Structure 1
Amino acid sequence: MRPLAIVSLHASPLAALGAGENGGMNVYVRAVCEELSRRGIPTEVFTRRASPDGPERVRLHQDSWVTQVEAGEPRPVDKGRLLDLLPAFTDGVLRQARYVPDGYSLIHSHYWLSGWTAVRLAAEWDLPWFHTAHTLARVKNERAASGAVLEPDHRIAVEQAVVREADRLIASSVSEAEDLVRLYAADRRRLAVVPPGVDLRIFTPRPADALRRRLGLEGMRTIVFAGRLERLKGAEIVLRATAILAAQGVGSGRLALVLAGEDSQNGMLESSALGGERARLEALARDLSIADRVRFTGAVDQRTLAGLLAL
């Protein structure tokens, strides 16, 4: 069976989770490829090399490989600069494909940057092309919080081209599918909704007493927020909601909030004058007189997150 070509320029399934821009998309690509492998469907993931260390090609699962393509210096770069690296990345993917004599069966791109590359790959290889947006610029701009960095026009233009050209658009929810139709005039006949799954080998109920003691949360009713710290994610909303609930006496005064995550690039930029988004949120917690109820954990891995969700 010919492998699927998975294009994920900035979200490598090999990346450490929870810091910078690494998060749900990295998990999504890795989990989908692992499950496809278990079902006997091979995949080749193309991602940009972000470190000089390690081999060019890495096995992710039995029938799944990751090829790290040289495009720019092999180090993390600001997401806003990745557009300039797309021609080099695309050329690198096409060069690597020459070593696959039977070619690929299908292209699946993730995020608008990879969609830019997939437009050319689909034309060069004459293959069907699926695309998952993960986020949409017009939706982010429409719902942007005060002070948030707006998405640029060139991203919107690329997304519009992807919606027009892709053979199948994979939306993660009915709401996203409706946004694609409403804001990008997507053809409903080429839309499919495939909700993300949950790894029940990791995210299962578990004892939390030891973790509660370590965080100083014994006897507390606990709210958990998990996500990169930037204004779009809404950590400020849950902080203000916690303050309201505490003032109303919810939990008989034993209410706490755990914030798991670290500043993203946007978070650092949006709140640079205040020392970053985490520093802004910590100051807000103090202003709301709930600092003693709030725990900032920083970036955590999946197993640690599963423990936090069991609190």
Structure 2
Amino acid sequence: MNGEPLYIVLISVHGLIRGHDLELGRDADTGGQTLYVVELARALARDKRVGRVDLITRRIVDPRVSSDYAEPEEDIGDGARIVRISAGPDEYLPKEQLWEYLNCLVDGALDHIQATGLAPALVHSHYADAGYVGVRLAHHLGVPLVFTGHSLGRVKRQRLLAKGESATTIEEKYNLSRRIRTEEETLAASALIVTSTQHEIEEQYGLYDWADEARMRVIAPGVNLARFSPPSDQSPPPIANELNRFLRTPDKPFVLALSRPDERKNLGTLVRAYGENAALRDQANLVIVAGNRDDIRDMDPGSRQVLTELLLLIDRYDLYGQCAYPRHHDADDVPDLYRYVTQTGGVFINPALTEPFGLTLIEAAACGAPIIATEDGGPQDIIKACANGELINPLDADEIGERLLALLKDKARWQTYSRNGINGVRQHYAWSNHVNAYLEAIEPLLNESPLPAPTMQARPELILVDRMLLVELSALGQNPDDPDLRELMAELRQRRRQVAFGIASDRPRHEVLGQLKRLKLPPPDVLVTRGGTQIHYGARLSRDRGWSQHISQNWQPDRIFNLLEETPGIRLGPRSVQGIFAIHALIDDHEAFIGQTALETRFFESDIGARIQRINPAELLITPQRASKGFALRYLAHQWNIPLDHILVAGGVLTDEDMLRGHTLGAVVVPDGKIHLPGLIDLERVMFSKDTYAAGIRQAMRHYDFFGACTLPEPQATDAATNQSPERDIHG
């Protein structure tokens, strides 16, 4: 890192993210992760080795939330900014509903990064949905991927099953199989996995097949010491008025819990611990700050259930006058709450069933509050480092009550924990420490090559075109005398200075050229073959060597051949018919074949980086990780400066999905396209044509006004039954 200052791209998709007044606890998606990524962006940008940090998230235009989340960019200081990309519907959506729109976020992020004119040093994804985005960005840009999971799907599924929920209900509600598969893919693609504690590595990532501990690094989060500091005097903070209206004796010490109203936070057990211990009730008040709410009935079912249980328990133990549970607090109230605990001689408690790290614990400690915390997870590391509190069994209400009471009565021990916490956080959890460890960890990764410079072997007119029609070979049909095919080619010839014409296929170049000859078609401007591993241009079929160089990273064909030859149920053709960057394999015994997922696991266990694509039920295509038809399309768009929303993709076979998702204009024109690609049916940028082959392509051109505005039809003009615009559903 002795050259130019680094440009770092952080990705965090869900939740409400802004640079001020973070709405922590508003819902299950707006928790500690949103604070972590904002503080990380700021801390990295403050370091002189870093020139710019962009935190990319989803843009939200929704009257139910602040207009701040609709701003395309927000400067958060020192060269850091939040960049918001439109992806899917405008409104705020929970993370489980975002999967179908993540390709749009990928394309929007690529557009933004390319517009900066800077080459990112790396992409760092936070959580599984951002992992999906980060894998694709990193592969396209040719830079390392760093991943922080924050919480993991397999752990969540275990907990939900342990609670008695059925596997079917869990899948319908949380879409965990997709999340877990994405986490595996992200772990396999990551050059570095940043965790907060060793416990995460052992107890959470250890559940994953593709988790490699050698690529993991424990770097504890930091705390903003400018915000979180000990009280400077004994005057009560503004939030005191809100708390005191609940309490008969407000000058007692506070036992404070602050978290989202989430069942895992175990707030009910804390109320039982307090309610069943008369001496503790006499000694201290209980304060529970569980997010913000107007009406519990309007909250999501999980939060509603937790808060309802709390109110019932407060009523059961008759804690009125002894327990405060405010409905609202601001971000600025949080450090004041911790300081108020210190001023009253109280204790901060985190009774969660499990806590991956415990950011609130170091915040409270920085303000001088002793802590009592769950023994499961990150608090072990915090208390070991700072010696500022004690661990408890989160399931033992009696123990929790007795330990709280003992600490509140032992003033000498209270003072020691308070002092140790203030000093320990500054020594172990300052953001400057985190940044130093972070930059040290990424330094060995910064030798990747960026996306290659454009090749100039294509026809010169490609420099002038402003749109492209890219057709999957099978979408042209089999009839050389198809009048719609003849008319389509005539239209393209007339506009060849405006429109580039491309063919994409999973088949080898010679097979594609043979089919084009049978259809009486000349070579296209762009030819993408063997599943996106080769790009050729024009009649001379000039190969794009830059693309070949880009996808060649970690390609190990000999090892792949050897592994496939040992795999039951698979038959390989001779190497002479295989591609340089593509290996075809036939499944000739489906009963003996171990399955695609198990085969991918074998690749990972053998440290082979490759992408396995299912061309059809009987055929696999193995390519480099950076290669697919969708990756090749985006490379072409970048190299020839063609906006993705000016590229019409027509296809409908299994491997077309990553071409059709995202900012491109998509058309499924192959018979049985709905069977091959059912996940695309409800996307506004993909139409399923009534006509097939060339007629369907021409219908799509009219649908999107391809030679004119090249855009989506007005929403009110869309026929929901056919996913297409009625006024354009004509032949001509």
Show the counterpart of 2:302. Answer: 270
Deviation of residue 212 (structure 1)?
4.8
CA shift for structure 1 position 135: 0.9
Range with bigger deviation, 126-135 or 92-101: 92-101
Q: What SS does structure 1 have at the residue aligned with 2:37?
A: helix
Determine which of 199, 203, 207 is the counterpart of 2:224: 199
Residue aligning to 1:8: 12
Judged with a 3 Å threshold, the aligned counterparts in structure 2 of structure 1 residues 58 and 219 are, in CA distance, closer, same or farther, namely closer
Higher deviation after alignment, 99-108 or 9-18: 9-18
- Three-state SS of the structure 2 residue aligned to 1:67 is strand
Query: Is 1:307 aligned to 2:336, yes or no?
Result: yes
- Which residue matches 2:257? 225
Q: What whole-Å deviation, never above 9, does each CA across 1:152-172 have from its counterpart, x for those lacking one?
A: 222111112212221111111
Does 2:268 align with 1:236? Answer: yes
Which one of the candidate residues 42, 67, 73 is aligned to 1:34? 42
SS at match of 1:5: strand
1:255 and 2:284 matched: yes
2:100 pairs, out of 74, 84, 89, with 84
Q: Does 1:280 align with 2:309?
A: yes
Count of paired positions: 304
Choose 181-190 or 7-16, whichever is displaced more.
7-16
One-letter code of the match for 2:310? Answer: L
Separation of aligned partners in 1, 2:100 and 2:286: 40
Query: Per the alignment, do residues 4 and 200 of structure 1 end up closer, same or farther by CA in structure 2, a change over 3 Å counting?
Result: same
CA contact (8 A) 1:282 1:291 kept: no
Equivalent-residue separation in structure 2 for 1:74 and 1:177 (angstroms): 36
* Identical columns (%): 23
CA–CA distance in structure 2, aligned partners of residues 293 and 308 of structure 1: 17
Letter in 2 for 1:49: R
| Greater displacement, 142-151 / 78-87 | 142-151
Q: Is the 2:54–2:80 contact (alpha carbons within 8 Å) kept by the matching residues of 1?
A: yes
Matches within 5 A, 1:68-107: 68-107=84-123
2:326 is paired with a residue whose SS is strand
* Corresponding position of 2:181: 157
Q: Report Cα offsets for 1:76-135 as digits up to 9, x if no partner.
A: 112221112212111211222221223211100111110011111111011011011111
Summarize deviations over 1:181-233 as a string: whole Å, max 9, x none.
42114211100011112222222222364555652352323211111102122
Offset at 1:291? 3.9
- Which letter does structure 1 place at the counterpart of 2:11? V
| Contact 2:192–2:217, Cα closer than 8 Å, also in 1 | yes
Shift of 1:36: 1.2
2:30 to 22, 30, 42: 22
Inter-CA distance 102–268: structure 2 relative to 1 (3 Å threshold) = closer
CA contact (8 A) 1:7 1:46 kept: yes
Distance of 1:142 and 1:208 partners within structure 2: 46
Q: Could you tell me how far 1:141 is from its partner in structure 2? A: 3.1
Q: Secondary structure at the match of 2:300?
A: helix
Deviations 1:27-49 (A, max 9, x none): 11111111111113121111100
8 Å Cα contact 1:10-1:47 kept in structure 2: yes
- Report the equivalent of 1:122: 138
Equivalent residue number for residue 663 of structure 2: none
Q: Determine the C-alpha separation between the residues in 1 that align with 2:320 and 2:55.
A: 43
Gaps of 5+ in 2: 342-732
Over 3 Å counting, the alpha-carbon distance change for 1:232 and 1:221 in structure 2 is same
Q: 1:220 to 1:212 in 2, by over 3 A?
A: farther
1:175 to 199, 202, 209: 199
User: AA paired with 1:238?
Assistant: L
CA distance in 2, matches of 1:46, 1:214: 36
Q: CA deviation at 1:303?
A: 2.6
Looking at structure 2, the residues matched to 197 and 147 of structure 1 have their Cα atoms a distance apart, in angstroms, of 36
Contact 2:14 2:94 in 1 (8 A): no
Q: 1:264-284: per-residue Cα shift (whole Å, max 9, x none)? A: 99x72236xxx5432332122
- TM-score by structure 1 length? 0.88
Q: Which residue of 1 aligns with 2:243?
A: 215
Counterpart code for 1:31:
E
Q: 1:229 touches 1:278 (CA, 8 Å); kept in 2?
A: yes
Taking the aligned partners of 1:74 and 1:47, their CA distance within structure 2 comes to 13
Equivalent residue letter for 2:253: R
Aligned to 1:297, the other structure's residue is in SS state coil
- 1:3 aligned counterpart, secondary structure: strand
Residues 36-73 of structure 1 show CA distances to partners (whole Å, capped at 9, x for unaligned) of 11113121111100126454122111211221101123
> Is the 1:138–1:156 contact (alpha carbons within 8 Å) kept by the matching residues of 2?
yes
Paired with 1:290 and 1:50, the residues of 2 have a C-alpha distance of: 40
- Aligned 8 A contact 1:108 1:129 in 2: yes
Range 32-41 or range 217-226, more displaced: 217-226
Question: Residue 326 of structure 2 aligns with which residue?
Answer: 297
Contact 1:17–1:299 (CA<8 Å) still a contact in 2?
no
Task: Say whether the 8 Å CA contact 1:263–1:277 is kept in structure 2.
Answer: no
Of stretches 175-184 and 3-12 in structure 1, the one that deviates more from structure 2 is: 175-184
Instruction: Indicate the structure whose relative CO is greater, using CA pairs within 8 Å and at least 6 residues apart.
Output: 1
CA contact (8 A) 1:261 1:300 kept: no
Cα pair distance change 1:209/1:263, threshold 3 Å: closer
CA distance in 2, matches of 1:171, 1:208: 39
Give the gaps of 5 or more residues in structure 1: none
Q: Which moved more, 1:18-27 or 1:142-151?
A: 142-151
- Structure 1 pair 284/139, CA: closer, same or farther in 2 (3 Å)? same
SS, match of residue 135 in structure 2: helix
Report which stretch shifted further, 142-151 or 6-15: 142-151
Q: Which whole-Å CA distance do the structure 1 matches of 2:317 and 2:42 have between them?
A: 44
Contact 1:49 1:70 in 2 (8 A): yes
* Distance change in 2, residues 1:263/1:50 (3 Å): same
CA distance in 2, matches of 1:181, 1:74: 34
Instruction: Name the residue aligned to 2:73.
Output: 57
Contact 2:73 2:81 in 1 (8 A): yes
